[in-house]
Amino acid sequence: MTASVTVRVPAKVNVQLAVGGLRPDGFHDLANVFLAVGLHDNVTATPADALRVTCSGPDAGQVPLDATNLAARAALALAARHGREADVHLHIDKDIPVAGGMAGGSADAAGALLACDALWGTGASREELLDICAELGSDVPFSLVGGAALGRGRGEILTPLAVGGTFHWVFAVADGGLSTPAVYRECDRLREVAGTGATTADVPDPEPSPALIDALRAGDAAALAAAVTNDLQAAAVSLRPSLTATLEAGTGAGALAAMVSGSGPTTAFLVTDAAEAEKVADALRASGTCRAVRVTSGPAAGATVVTPA
């Protein structure tokens, strides 16, 4: 019997996040271009008498260890479909900032799903795993797939995208998190205040940017920088005005593009190469406008079983 299975799963940055109007069901249609980046959580599944979640890493204290943990929900969903107990210990070794707009919880859900499938020998097809991911949350399918992809619907209907090179990024982690639903509510509120209206009747359907998709395919960082957009950025900055200083610190240090990552409050800086990344990272650290700085690149692979190899 397999003693345990460890799955490594990446964080993401949204290089385009176009948000449509508020739907009657409370969701928003999105045109969401995801890029997986090289910050990872590791999820280890080990047989146990009952479902249990533990977490290690700098942000571990902010992660719920009960059945609301997305990794636990993933294990329960797979077990329910296959008529078995979710008798597993899930350990999350967490390196992805929590509540930072980098899909850390979604990553853990995808990691737990793949780890439990391997541990239990469930043999779920890729399609079934993606179905369960979509039930668990809009960003979970992408965490399974990795690379780069366009997400439509709530972000869960994925089309893989070609990436022609490595993109270098610096992430500035802010103190505390932002609630993703609160950021969407603020986006709606700002649209009402601006007089444009916030519903699907008022807001044009979100569309992917052809220039951005071309830039990814070409591996052209300058072209990507010119095309990145995040419709949630104004809302995140409105809830956390101090992000403006972080964004300015990165731009001042020569970043090609500075943006809020997803719903924030992590900010993302696209740079030309690894040397430039170190320069921008040093400037961000010196600025005193963020809690931590991480240097990485993308695309990164999706959820991958690392042990047993």
Least distance between ligand ATP and beta carbon 180 (Å): 4
Least distance between ligand ATP and beta carbon 271 (Å): 22
Between CA 205 and CA 202 the distance in angstroms is 9
> Are 235 and 265 in contact, with CB atoms under 8 Å apart?
no
Q: Is 99 in the site for ligand ATP (CB under 6 A)?
A: yes
Between CA 144 and CA 288 the distance in angstroms is 35
Among the listed ranges 105-113, 160-168, 203-211, 267-275, the one in contact with ligand ATP (CB under 6 A) is: 105-113
DSSP bridge partners of 54: 91
Any catalytic annotation for residue 279?
no
CB-side exposure of 89: number of CA atoms within 13 Å? 10
Residue 25: strand, helix, or coil: coil
Please count the residues of this chain forming the interface with ligand ATP, following the rule CB under 6 A: 22
Q: Which of 10, 104, 206, 208 binds ligand ATP (CB under 6 A)?
A: 104
Q: Which of 141, 250, 262, 298 binds ligand ATP (CB under 6 A)?
A: 262
Q: Whose structure tokens read 């270098």? A: 168
Written as six digits, the tokens of 220 are 């052209």
Q: Is 139 in the site for ligand ATP (CB under 6 A)?
A: yes
Among the listed ranges 104-112, 200-208, 252-260, 284-292, the one in contact with ligand ATP (CB under 6 A) is: 104-112
> Are 272 and 221 in contact, with CB atoms under 8 Å apart?
yes
Q: Is 70 in the site for ligand ATP (CB under 6 A)?
A: yes
Q: Which of 42, 69, 233, 267 binds ligand ATP (CB under 6 A)?
A: 69
> Are 212 and 167 in contact, with CB atoms under 8 Å apart?
no
Q: Is 250 in the site for ligand ATP (CB under 6 A)?
A: no
Least distance between ligand ATP and beta carbon 98 (Å): 4
Tell which residue, 2, 17, 8, 1, has the closest CA to residue 155.
17
Any catalytic annotation for residue 94?
no
Q: Is 236 in the site for ligand ATP (CB under 6 A)?
A: no
> Are 187 and 231 in contact, with CB atoms under 8 Å apart?
yes
Task: State the residues that interact with ligand ATP by CB under 6 A.
Answer: 63-64, 68-71, 92, 98-106, 108, 139, 177, 180, 262-263
Which residues are catalytically annotated? 12, 139
